[in-house]
Amino acid sequence: MAIVKSTIQQQVADAIAQVEPNDRPVAIIQTITGPSPWLMNGVLGIIGQAFIKYYFVTLTQRVVVIHRTSRISNRPQEVLYVIPLEQARASLSDVRRNTLWSSLRFQLPNEPKPTRMNVHRMWRAEMDTFVNGLIGGAPGVPGQYPQQAAPAQYPGAPGVPGQYPQAPAAPYPPQQPAAPYPPQQPAGQYPPAPGQYPQAPGGNPYQG
């Protein structure tokens, strides 16, 4: 099992490179879904483990990629979602920065309500980069991020010229934030073609 953070980050970066070689990670965090891990691990024990999921959530220069995480090897598995940045900004809410377990809520495609994702302090610095890179800003008071505002209020968000190095022109078409998202595809129909993200729920902004 990979437990060294740099090793885990490299594994996730390699997994992204296999499907989209021209994109690069900005921030990678490992998350555990469900209520507080104190409750799930301590009070509910093995029963609680059955109700949680492990994800790698990666902010790249162009999208947010969510991988399923193997509980045995702690390696990234299949890509579950590829979410355009504008949709990802609107999906993030209730970010809480705590001493041991921080958390954020993220509206996953096809889910009825936002999913709580818990982040261990091992990944807190990466969570800060993820949140600040996606919506901008910084904690206004210790332990708490400011309320999310409209994307237009964050001029430093990814996708704005000058913030991150521009990705190579091919195979990316110009990003069109105002365009409607492509229809979501049913689960299980994501061909892992080299050089192209699979058609995961939430749409694929790489195809124009």
- Over residues 135-176, the pLDDT tens digits come to 874 444 344 444 444 333 333 334 333 333 343 433 444 445
Return the higher-pLDDT residue of 172 and 20.
Answer: 20
Q: Compute the average pLDDT of residues 31-46.
A: 69
Q: Distance between CA atoms of 154 and 104, rounded to whole angstroms?
A: 19
Sheet of strand 92-96: strand arrangement:
76-84, 63-69, 54-60, 25-33, 115-120, 101-106, 92-96
Structural domains in the chain, CATH included, are 5-153 (2.30.29.30)
Percent of the chain at pLDDT > 70 equals 57
Q: pLDDT at position 129, please? A: 96
Return the higher-pLDDT residue of 119 and 154.
Answer: 119
Residue 85 near residue 159, CB atoms below 8 Å: yes
Return the higher-pLDDT residue of 153 and 116.
Answer: 116
Percent of the chain at pLDDT > 90 equals 49
Lowest mean pLDDT among 8-22, 40-54, 89-103, 180-194: 180-194
Band of residue 34 on the pLDDT scale cut at 50, 70, 90: confident
- Mean pLDDT, rounded, of the chain: 74
- The owner of tokens 């093995």 is 46
